[in-house]
Copies of this chain bind each other. A is one copy, B any other.
Amino acid sequence: MRIGLLAAGAAMALSTAAWGQPMTGFAPASAEKQRALEQRFDAEISPRAISERLKLMSAEPNHVGAPHNIKNAEYTREQFKAWGWDARIETFDVLYPTPIEVSVELTGPTRHKATLTEAPIPGDESSKQGPNGLPAYLGYQGDGDVTAELVYVNYGMPADYETLARMGVDVKGKIVIARYGGGWRGLKPKLAQEHGAVGCLIYSDPADDGYGEGDVYPKGSWRPDNAFQRGSVMDMPIYPGDPLTPGVGATKDAKRLTREEARTILKIPALPISYADAKPMLAALDGETVPSSWRGALPITYQTGPGPAVVHLVVKSDWKLETLYDVIATLKGKDRPDEWVVRGNHRDGWVLGAEDPLSGHSVMMEEAKAMGALLKTGWRPSRTIVYASWDGEEVGLLGSTEWAEAHAAELQKKAVLYVNTDSSGRGALDADASYSTRRLLNEVAAEVKDAETGADVRTRKLANVQVRALGPDASDRLKDQAKAAAKGEDFAVDPMGSGSDYTPFVQHLGIASMDIGYSGEDEGGVYHSLYDTFEHYDRFADPGAKYQAMLAKTVGRVVMRTADAEVVPLAFAGPAETIASDVEELKKLEEKTRTRAETVNRLVAQKAFALADEPRKGWKAPPRQDAGKPLDFKALDAAVARLKASAAAYDARSRAASGLPAGKRDQLNAILQGAEQALTDARGLPGRPWFRHLAYAPGLLTGYGAKTVPGVREAIESRRWAEAQDYIGRTAKALDRYADAMDRASALIRS
């Protein structure tokens, strides 16, 4: 239908608006009732209330253990109660290092002592709270007092160390300085440590995060020269949450590892610094001039060192147990109380945390308030709705992980969907999500209006994908998505990695999840700094809370539709196609990786590098690589083919599902509730059993960024060929289990 329209009426604006359209999981009559409910829900959403709540909650520092963070937990609980929810605080006791001493000094050939504090900014009242917040600090770094020559390692990612090795630059015994970007923060000190460095500095280069992006705060929104990015460097790709209690809730009586036994705590000291402090240190480096892609926007010649710059770095922390305060609020389902829709946003911030996370937290509370109002008019969800205000996300997804681990069995049995938000921005809709939620999200997006353009969010997203795909740097994935968008197909959801509280739900427990928000048009620059204030947010991120209100309407619909649907509103045909193309990508990757390894080995053997490199520089040839043999993809191909057929069959039949007799519907809902868990493997991913999802996971070497078919992909990327073959089999079995679930669901409808 949509294709025909587009082809026929080129002059017509894109549109996907939706009254009278089918609503997955609902019979037509129920769909119209649901839409009426949503209209009433929307009427309760107040941008002003969102904004006032944000201001209130971000008035004082909100890190783990800060009095105001605890006060906010109590406030959140009381608000939920006042709106008619069951609400309580659930606590956990986790290892939480609090900084005692932090210091960085360039001691030679020139001297410069880093400030490591952020001064208040005129016109930003909130920024006066600086002295009460955390100084420059990276959670779960390793403490130490070291003095060594400095080496600049660009983003400090694996490819950067390969380049350094080619240049003959070794970081052993040195302190590295890496710029933010290119991959997750926590990998920088981890890889530095693995390469023998004794300390790690991370700074915000103005090219990536400062005046390069735009005028700096307070003239514009961007990072001023004295601001730094705090953050966690816990080795979360191994497991997130309390380092002492992997896999179990950090309850009072939990069995705990010692600090030394915990694999996720680094061994070397690390600190973040501002670009004002980084500049004299980088300027004091000599050695190789860096490749052009390594250059930032400081007015210096970027060079690698080592030295002559020498740095003295000290970090000392208090490694005590600290209490986390999760607020858990419930609306019990009237029909299916043991099927849960869980929705969360964290509450702790690095300092005041206005944008990150309280902008999203205030949205979440606004949804709860609006549902409370609906309760008073007699509505009650069919399934149970659980809202969670997580503590300790910033330092390692602590509050969500401990709660998910503590309630693992119950969640795997009951949770239908986990919906996450975090910072709330403005622009087009962005969603990292379980593929099976793609249709649901498109249906919702078609019924929420964009605050600026007046178009529905789905239409805007489809336009956005197509226009971005015209850009010179558009990826092949984006170009494919644009082609699909041109045909009016559902916009794609991105695969789930990590970076916020959905991680334990989808990656550890296999619960269908989504992480959504609006983005691309908020002006940033204050991430994890003192300047993430209400004043900054209201001026640059979402003036007037227009997009926060949209997010409340979007998430509210997702939650209420999932809670009220006669049949869990998941769909599988689109997702099966996505998995199929993920597998095709793998094959290309395998071919490319093998061919490249063979080429490198041939060129090494022929001493071609010595001939190609500038002879006076004394560069080293790269090491030989294991080129392996072609992998056998047959099992995966067969599983994908079956999955596509099973998914198409279920989706075709599911329209009849809401008319099923109650008993069969219960069985169907039970199958759908646990379907995503078929994609997990009890053994988990190689070397990190906590991560069990075989369709998408955060990369071991990307940290947050998603890898699709991760067991196979990461093995290929690292040329561990036997492991890749093993995970081809394991992934094929997971896809078979997933298809089994669909087949069982289809059979129920047909019979």
Rounded to whole angstroms, the CA-CA distance of A216 and B299 in the bound complex is 12
A314 interface contact, C-beta 8 A? no
Q: Contact string, A422-462, partner B, CB cutoff 8 A, digits 1/0?
A: 00000110000000000000000000001011010001101
Pairs A-B, 7 closest by C-beta atoms = A467-B612, A463-B611, A452-B615, A463-B608, A10-B605, A299-B299, A464-B612
| Partner of A602 from B10, B601, B611 at Cβ < 8 Å | B10
| A606-B10 in contact given A611-B455, A613-B467, A615-B452 (Cβ < 8 Å) | yes
A722 interface contact, C-beta 8 A? no
| Partner of A301 from B215, B300, B612, B613 at Cβ < 8 Å | B215
Q: A10-B605, A299-B299, A463-B612 are in contact. List 16 more A-B contacts (CB 8 A).
A: A10-B606, A12-B606, A213-B301, A214-B289, A214-B301, A222-B301, A298-B299, A453-B615, A463-B603, A463-B611, A464-B612, A466-B608, A467-B603, A467-B609, A470-B600, A486-B599
A334 interface contact, C-beta 8 A? no
Q: Which residues of B contact A609 (CB under 8 A)?
A: 463, 467
A686 interface contact, C-beta 8 A? no
In the assembled complex, the CB of A716 is this many whole angstroms from the nearest CB of chain B, namely 18
Query: Is B214 within 8 A of A611, CB to CB?
Result: no
In the assembled complex, the CB of A449 is this many whole angstroms from the nearest CB of chain B, namely 12
A29 interface contact, C-beta 8 A? no
Query: Is A611 within 8 A of B289, CB to CB?
Result: no
A674 interface contact, C-beta 8 A? no
Query: Is B599 within 8 A of A466, CB to CB?
Result: yes
Q: Which A209-251 residues sit within 8 Å CB-CB of chain B?
A: 211-216, 220, 222
A697 interface contact, C-beta 8 A? no
| A596-B14 in contact given A464-B612, A611-B463, A616-B452 (Cβ < 8 Å) | no
Query: Is A607 within 8 A of B295, CB to CB?
Result: no
Query: Is B213 within 8 A of A611, CB to CB?
Result: no
In the assembled complex, the CB of A162 is this many whole angstroms from the nearest CB of chain B, namely 11
Q: Which residues of B contact A452 (CB under 8 A)?
A: 615-616
Q: Which residues of A contact B (CB under 8 A)?
A: 6, 10-14, 206-207, 211-216, 220, 222, 289, 292-293, 295, 297-302, 427-428, 450, 452-453, 455, 459-460, 462-464, 466-468, 470, 472, 486, 520-521, 596, 599-603, 605-616
| Partner of A612 from B297, B460, B605 at Cβ < 8 Å | B460
User: Can you tell how many copies of this chain the complex includes?
Assistant: 2
Chain B, residue nearest A616 (CB): B452
Rounded to whole angstroms, the CA-CA distance of A613 and B293 in the bound complex is 28
Rounded to whole angstroms, the CA-CA distance of A295 and B601 in the bound complex is 38
Q: Which residues of B contact A611 (CB under 8 A)?
A: 14, 450, 453, 455, 459-460, 463-464
Query: Is A295 within 8 A of B207, CB to CB?
Result: yes
Rounded to whole angstroms, the CA-CA distance of A460 and B611 in the bound complex is 5
| A608-B14 in contact given A466-B599, A615-B452 (Cβ < 8 Å) | yes
Query: Is A453 within 8 A of B606, CB to CB?
Result: no
In the assembled complex, the CB of A474 is this many whole angstroms from the nearest CB of chain B, namely 11
Rounded to whole angstroms, the CA-CA distance of A467 and B600 in the bound complex is 8
Rounded to whole angstroms, the CA-CA distance of A289 and B453 in the bound complex is 22
Rounded to whole angstroms, the CA-CA distance of A694 and B463 in the bound complex is 41
Q: Which residues of B contact A222 (CB under 8 A)?
A: 301
Chain B, residue nearest A608 (CB): B463
Query: Is A606 within 8 A of B13, CB to CB?
Result: yes
Chain B, residue nearest A14 (CB): B606
Query: Is A470 within 8 A of B211, CB to CB?
Result: no
| A211-B603 in contact given A463-B611, A467-B609 (Cβ < 8 Å) | no
Chain B, residue nearest A611 (CB): B463
| Partner of A468 from B207, B520, B602, B612 at Cβ < 8 Å | B612
Chain B, residue nearest A299 (CB): B299
Interface pairs (6), CB distance under 8 Å: A12-B606, A14-B606, A207-B295, A214-B289, A463-B611, A464-B611
Rounded to whole angstroms, the CA-CA distance of A6 and B596 in the bound complex is 17
Chain B, residue nearest A286 (CB): B215
Chain B, residue nearest A10 (CB): B605
Q: Which residues of B contact A520 (CB under 8 A)?
A: 614
Rounded to whole angstroms, the CA-CA distance of A497 and B222 in the bound complex is 43
Q: Which residues of B contact A455 (CB under 8 A)?
A: 611
Rounded to whole angstroms, the CA-CA distance of A602 and B482 in the bound complex is 13
Query: Is A605 within 8 A of B460, CB to CB?
Result: no
Query: Is B466 within 8 A of A301, CB to CB?
Result: no
In the assembled complex, the CB of A109 is this many whole angstroms from the nearest CB of chain B, namely 14
Chain B, residue nearest A621 (CB): B467
| A603-B466 in contact given A14-B608, A295-B207, A460-B612 (Cβ < 8 Å) | yes
In the assembled complex, the CB of A298 is this many whole angstroms from the nearest CB of chain B, namely 7
In the assembled complex, the CB of A599 is this many whole angstroms from the nearest CB of chain B, namely 7
Q: Which residues of B contact A614 (CB under 8 A)?
A: 427, 520-521
| A607-B206 in contact given A212-B295, A220-B301 (Cβ < 8 Å) | no
Query: Is A596 within 8 A of B463, CB to CB?
Result: no
In the assembled complex, the CB of A469 is this many whole angstroms from the nearest CB of chain B, namely 8
| Partner of A606 from B216, B289, B292, B463 at Cβ < 8 Å | B463
In the assembled complex, the CB of A451 is this many whole angstroms from the nearest CB of chain B, namely 9
In the assembled complex, the CB of A515 is this many whole angstroms from the nearest CB of chain B, namely 22
Rounded to whole angstroms, the CA-CA distance of A427 and B608 in the bound complex is 14
Rounded to whole angstroms, the CA-CA distance of A610 and B289 in the bound complex is 43
In the assembled complex, the CB of A479 is this many whole angstroms from the nearest CB of chain B, namely 10
Query: Is A14 within 8 A of B298, CB to CB?
Result: no
Q: Which residues of B contact A608 (CB under 8 A)?
A: 14, 462-463, 466-467
Rounded to whole angstroms, the CA-CA distance of A253 and B207 in the bound complex is 58
Q: Which residues of B contact A607 (CB under 8 A)?
A: 13-14
Query: Is B300 within 8 A of A211, CB to CB?
Result: yes
In the assembled complex, the CB of A324 is this many whole angstroms from the nearest CB of chain B, namely 38
Chain B, residue nearest A471 (CB): B291
Q: Which residues of B contact A211 (CB under 8 A)?
A: 299-301
